[in-house]
Amino acid sequence: MTTTPATEPVTYWYLEQTAPGDLRPARDLAPGAPVRIERAAVPSPEFSRFLYTAVGQDVAWIDRLPWDRARWRAQLERPGVETWVVYEHGTPGGFLELSGEESGVVEIGYFGLLPAFRGRGLGGALLSAGTARAWDLAGRTPGHRPTRRVWLHTCSRDGEHALDNYRRRGFRVYDTHTKQEPYARQPGPWPGA
């Protein structure tokens, strides 16, 4: 009988870009590919929660599962928060959430693809587009200074190609640490699933 450990080591990597020229865009998708990336400009707690659970269900994203509709709405309506979605044949395949501060620092808070859309170049395209939108966020957010830094973090629980994708897009690791954390049962796409 196999027992589940109470804790497991989790490594965190913190990465950044400090100038727009740091961004190394992904290769273009095939001409005529039925793929588009666009901003979800209408704050929708339901849509954002769908994206969060669908993308994060197999990589232990659990921090927002307890959020109620009001908390989701408050997050999405905060100035400097934007959700960018990749679609293939009209179907949402993943998202990237920007969280900009007035100081000119922008965090890529969440980024990922639904399992069926991974491994086909969509992640590089979405990360490239989303990072470019982080660099020009001030132009869409009154009161925000021009972006001077874009950062994110990933961990050993994320997808196996996440860290490499960030590095290929020009992000540099500026901090790393490992700590014991409670074992994260894969939460599934819906609470209780």
pLDDT given at position 192:
45
pLDDT given at position 186:
57
pLDDT tens for residues 49-91? 999 999 998 888 888 999 999 999 999 999 999 999 999 999 9
Q: For residue 126, which phi and psi values (nearest 5 degrees)?
A: -65, -45
Q: Which residues pair with 97 in a beta bridge?
A: 83, 110
Residues 143 and 86: their CA atoms lie apart, in Å, by: 28
pLDDT given at position 123:
94
Query: Residue 39's closest CA among 84, 73, 96, 6?
Result: 84
Q: Domain-by-domain residue ranges, the chain? A: 7-182
pLDDT given at position 157:
86
Residues 76 and 176: their CA atoms lie apart, in Å, by: 29
pLDDT given at position 193:
44
CATH of domain 7-182: 3.40.630.30
The H or E element containing residue 88 is strand 81-88
All residue ranges of the chain with pLDDT < 50 are 190, 192-193
